[in-house]
Amino acid sequence: MRITIAHNTNQETLKVVAHLRKLLETKEGVVFDAKYPDVVITVGGDGTLINAFHRYENQISSIRFIGIHTGHLGFYTDWRGPEVDKMVDALFLREPESASYPLLEVELLTEANEKKHFLALNESAVKRISHTLEAKVYIDDQLFENFRGDGLCISTPTGSTGYNKSLGGAVIHPRLKALQMAEIASINNSIFRSLSSPIVLAPEQCVTIVPNADHFVMTIDGRRINIRNAKKINYRISTKEIHFDRFGHTHFWSRVQSAFIGDNDDTI
């Protein structure tokens, strides 16, 4: 089993990483391979895991992720620092089984007809910083609305609990594999008319944004990319998925409850 450990540099994280590495070194058949891993163990928080995802996104189909959180409870991190021994035992005592989540595919077409492709685990947003964004929004190549506002956010189901939720979007279970678009401070007048409500699209549908601006900002999971001379941006659910080791993997709604509501011991 080829394993790599991705982590932040917090003091508590480094302690957990040192202990984790010692445990793994005692296991037969473990090879530490940061280039072509079978399993990526992240120690830190959701940001650490998202960074690791982008580092290995070209190998995403052959990698399983395991998240250990050493600070506040992360949405993608199933294990706590004190549970490392238990996690390592489970990794080697059970047959591999994955829980898979859909990803967002982003295709940027330039004025020169060059195509650039990106993958997002959470979301991608299109914004302008000092001015409002004007754009036409198409659904499956049919004009849906003329948008004006601060921007638009397209999210995956798991990303629906992040930026999308703060914009008033719905929280979507990842088995739905749906795309969600939420407006960021839209302006409605006699020229620009938008729905002023988040929309949820079927997995086979595509959202296309045609910006009326020679420059704007696009984010991929919070990473800022300055864009110039773009013709359009296409968003759809990718055929690729991210895979998490299923052992100890927390039920989706339990994650939502823990993250936003708090623990509740009442059962039916």
Residue range 220-251, pLDDT digits in tens: 999 999 999 899 999 999 999 999 987 766 67
Q: Which of 38, 46, 140, 141 is catalytic?
A: 46
What pLDDT is recorded for position 261? 84
Q: Say if strands 179-186 and 142-155 run parallel, antiparallel, or are unpaired.
A: antiparallel
265 is catalytic: no
CB 107 within 8 A of CB 142: no
CB 40 within 8 A of CB 12: no
Q: Which element (helix H / strand E) includes 3?
A: strand 2-7
What pLDDT is recorded for position 27? 92
Q: Is 45 annotated to bind ligand? A: no
pTM: predicted TM-score of the whole model, two decimal places: 0.91
Q: Is 161 annotated to bind ligand? A: yes
Domains of the chain with bracketed CATH: 2-97+246-261 (3.40.50.10330), 103-239 (2.60.200.30)
What pLDDT is recorded for position 34? 97
CA 99-104-106 angle, 5° bins = 155
Which amino acid does the sequence have at 77? T
What pLDDT is recorded for position 88? 93
**pLDDT tens readout for residues 186-232:** 998 888 888 999 999 999 999 999 999 889 999 999 999 999 989 99
Q: Is 162 annotated to bind ligand? A: yes
Q: Is 160 annotated to bind ligand? A: no
Range with the poorest average pLDDT among 79-83, 85-89, 214-218, 233-237? 79-83
On the question of pLDDT at 18 being above 70, the answer is yes
Q: Is 166 annotated to bind ligand? A: yes
Give the count of beta carbons closer than 10 Å to the beta carbon of residue 12: 13
**pLDDT tens readout for residues 27-67:** 999 999 999 999 999 999 999 999 999 999 999 999 999 99
What pLDDT is recorded for position 23? 95
Q: Is 47 annotated to bind ligand? A: yes
Q: Is 163 annotated to bind ligand? A: yes
